[in-house]
Structures are given as structure tokens and as C-alpha cells.
Amino acid sequence: MIIIGHRGSMADRPENTMVSFERAVAAGAGGIECDVHLSSDNVPVVIHDPDTIRTTGISSTVEKTPARDLSSMDAGSYFSSIYEGEPVPLLEETAAWAAERNVTLHVELKEQLYHKDEETVAQILETLSPLNEKNIVISTFCHRYIPLIKKKNPAIEAALLTKSPFRRGPAYANLIQADSIHIRHTPQAAWYYSRWAGTGMSIRVYNVRNLVQLKRLSSAGVSGVIVDNPALMMRL
């Protein structure tokens, strides 16, 4: 079961920053997860929220702001003064970093309200081109992106993201051409893990908080867990 750093190592580093990604890999994570939006000039930027206020203190909509301005914002001080000046990364530099270290990059593609779907998918795939296709997983709650990803590059893994379990999950995933399912961990969702994994589909789980949960997920056949604190989870 692969440990994947959620926004890097967001428990002890500012989320979605290079210092957070470095921390996750140093802790032994087999992959990192990051969130991506497009800037106003169509550049993929690594940031979770559709606006910048929470992580930079500046009130700005990501999709309405040029990449140059976004990458100059301080994304570290909100977490600790130790990380003052840590910038908002571009996906391009994150992909190059992951390629150098041969780690799998899990990109959560956020729904873009001001960009066309085809344009969004094309920009993401082009930016990820330095990576080996086997080291790319694109996940999204915006399920209409998934067939577009598979049409443009069938070799790249596309994952259906969901907060809630539902019956016939693998059947729905196949219908929309998803290769895998990423699901939020809850007691209700746990009932589905082994059943879904038994179909041969990769199941990865997020919102995993402790080693007890981790051991149970391993027994259920989950192929990966997306965690806030990779160093803690690597103790298993």
C-alpha cells in the first residue's frame, strides 16, 4: 500500500509548496498529491482553493490572476514565519521536480469556472509531459474531465474523486472511463473498499488520520492512502 503525501506533508509544512513536497519524499512517501487551478493566462498553478486568501493572505481569484502574480505570493507565512517567502508553485516546476525524483505525482484537477474543459485538460497534460506517464495520476471531483483526459492521452491514469460511497462504484467509474477511485475515508465508505478492490480497480483513500485506520485499510486491499503526515504513517 503506497503512502501519498496530501498536499505534500501539510501536517508539518505549508501545504502545496515545494518545501512540503520535499518533506513528504524525505519521509518516504511513494508519491505526492497536489491541487491545481489555471491562472488567468492559462498556466497551471499548484494551490487548493479557488482564491488565495487562506494560504497567502491576499484576496485574489486564482483564475482571474496572472501566474506571475500568483507565484510571487507568500504561501508559507500563514503556516509559520519559518516559511516566510515560500512561493505558490507552478505545476511545471512541480512536475520537473517529481520527474527528477521519480515519484508519482497525483494531481487533483479542480473544476475551472472560467476556462473551457478542453482547454483545461490540454494545459494540464501538456504541463505534465516531462513526467513518465506511469508516474502521473489525475484525480478530479469534476467527472466530466475524465473522458477528456482519456481521449487525449489514454496512458495516463484518471481517478474518480468522491467524498461519499455509492453502490456500483466500479461500474460508474468504468462508465466515465476512470481507471481508479479516490474516496474520503469514513466508516460507511470502509464497507466498500474490499468489494471495490476485488474488481481489480485501484482504490485510494484520503482523510486517513492514524495508524489504526492505516492497518485496517491495508487489510481491505486499498492500494494507496493520501495522508497529511507521511512521516507518521511510514511507521507502519
Residue with cell 484537477: 109
- Please give the chain's pLDDT, 236 residues, in tens: 999 999 999 999 999 999 999 999 999 999 999 999 999 999 999 999 999 999 999 999 999 999 999 999 999 999 999 999 999 999 999 999 999 999 999 999 999 999 999 999 999 999 999 999 999 999 999 999 999 999 999 999 999 999 998 878 999 999 999 999 999 999 999 999 999 999 999 999 999 999 899 999 999 999 999 999 999 998 87
Q: Which residues contact 135 (CB under 8 A, 6 or more apart)?
A: 98, 99, 102, 103, 104, 105
Task: State pTM to two decimals.
Answer: 0.96
* pLDDT given at position 1: 92
3-class secondary structure for the chain?
CEEEEECCCCCCCCCCCHHHHHHHHHCCCCEEEEEEEECCCCCEEECCCCECHHHHCCCCEHHHCCHHHHHCCECCCCCCHHHCCCECCEHHHHHHHHHHHCCEEEEEECCCCCCCHHHHHHHHHHHCCCCCHHHEEEEECCCCHHHHHHHHCCCCEEEEEECCCCCCHHHHHHHCCCCEEEEECCHHHHHHHHHHHCCCCEEEEECCCCHHHHHHHHHCCCCEEEECCHHHHCCC
* pLDDT given at position 185: 96
* pLDDT given at position 169: 93
